[in-house]
Amino acid sequence: RKAAEEERKDEPAVTTDGHRVAVVANIGGSDDAAEAMRRGAEGVGLLRSEFVFMGRTTAPTEAEQAQVYADCSRALQPGQPLVIRTLDVGGDKPLHYLPIPAEENPFLGIRGVRVAFDRPEVLRTQCRAILAAADAGARLHVMFPMIATIDDWRRAKAIFDEERAAAGTTTPVSVGIMMEVPSVAVMARQFAAEEGCDFFSVGTNDLTSYTLAMDRGHPRLAAQVDPCNPAVLTLIGNAAEALHAHGKWLGVCGGVASDPQAVPILVGLGVDELSCSIPAIPSVKAAVRAYSLDTCRTLAHKAVTCSTPSEVRALVPIEDS
Ligand code: PEP
Ligand code: MG
């Protein structure tokens, strides 16, 4: 089966009844972008830009960042999407030259876009670098991590818009929101109605953690932090419906997008783009091709009425490899 998946890795992922799902990659830099292309990715759904900031003693300059973003963009085929997530540190991701004061509850504290609000110059520099790279070929998207409130979104978007106006560029850049705090999924209708908000991408790692109030890295709890929990799937399905009603698209860039068993359920819930780990791309594409959209929808309807993650997983038989 692996050989058959390999053979079709460069073909699009289309269900048996003709519904196309974008299969893109999660990357940490331009080497990954090139590798993702070799493995059949149709673009990048998540560039974790914190990798550009890690392993250094000072923050990368605007020029250094622009170079990395442009290199990633040039590694893709013209017109393919490149989604750059702005710096996502704090919580489990420290950065010593950007110290975050010790907190009782780092996962509920200053992390993701909240760091950017404390240090707006960091986000401003990053926005300028992204805008500078916007002409390198790919269709550029920027998204903000850990958005929890409409105010968070408006504040981050305003910073991007100010830098865009100052740069005077006309290249279109889509702007979106990481859906990884339950409030955003619950209020998808209101978020989708926000002007200038083009897309959403579900960070199922954090969304699952925050939905269940369980630390995804906790040694005794991690096994229960299953994105196939019906609570999480219900949030995703309801959000997809609300976003589509506003003509906005929904991706999934958390780990569950790399799980072939979950793929038909995600597709049935209305997910438009799966952004997965590079090695998973051929098998995720194969999983899309194995079902009709009708079957995916039936599976999704059943999944949201299940009581446990194992009931959900039992809906989708796993093939032997
Ligand atoms: C997520 O939370 O699912 C996600 C993609 O972001 P990260 O794993 O980098 O926190
Ligand atoms: Mg996250």
Per-residue pLDDT of the chain in tens (321 residues, 90 and over written 9): 899 999 999 999 999 999 999 999 999 999 999 999 999 999 999 999 999 999 999 999 999 999 999 999 999 999 999 999 999 998 778 888 988 888 999 999 999 999 999 999 999 999 999 999 997 777 999 999 999 999 999 999 999 999 999 999 888 999 999 999 999 999 999 999 999 999 999 999 999 999 999 998 899 999 999 999 999 999 999 999 999 999 999 999 999 999 999 999 999 999 999 999 999 999 999 999 999 999 999 999 999 999 999 999 999 988 755
pLDDT digits (tens, 9 = 90+) for 125-154: 999 999 999 977 779 999 999 999 999 999
The one-letter amino acid at 46: L
And the tokens for 79?
């017109």
Q: Assess contact for 235 and 207: CB atoms under 8 A.
A: yes
> To test ligand 1's pocket by mutation, which of 202, 205, 214, 276 has the most ligand atoms within 8 angstroms of CB?
205
At 318 the pLDDT is: 83
Residue with CA closest to ligand 1 atom 1 = 203
CA angle 234, 239, 254 (to 5 degrees): 75
> To test ligand 1's pocket by mutation, which of 24, 47, 48, 49 has the most ligand atoms within 8 angstroms of CB?
48
Q: In angstroms, what is the span from residue 4 Cα to ligand 1's centroid?
A: 30
Task: List, in order, residues 6 or more apart from 180 with CB less than 8 Å away.
Answer: 145, 146, 202, 203, 204, 205, 206, 207, 210, 254
At 320 the pLDDT is: 58
Which ligand has an atom closest to residue 254 CA? 1
At 201 the pLDDT is: 98
At 151 the pLDDT is: 98
Pairing of strands 249-252, 273-276: parallel
Q: What is the pTM of this model?
A: 0.97
At 49 the pLDDT is: 97
Residue with CA closest to ligand 1 atom 4 = 203
Instruction: Output b/e per residue, 122-134; b: 16+ Cβ within 10 A.
Output: bbbbbbbbbbbbb
Q: In angstroms, what is the span from residue 203 Cα to ligand 2's centroid?
A: 5
* DSSP conformation class of 187: T
At 170 the pLDDT is: 86
> Which residue shows structure tokens 């098998």?
283
Q: In angstroms, what is the span from residue 203 Cα to ligand 1's centroid?
A: 5
Q: In angstroms, what is the span from residue 168 Cα to ligand 2's centroid?
A: 31
Pocket of ligand 1 (CB under 6 A): 46, 48, 88, 180, 203-206, 253-254
Q: Assess contact for 199 and 250: CB atoms under 8 A.
A: yes
* DSSP conformation class of 220: T
Residue with CA closest to ligand 1 atom 6 = 203
At 321 the pLDDT is: 52
And the tokens for 43?
């673009």
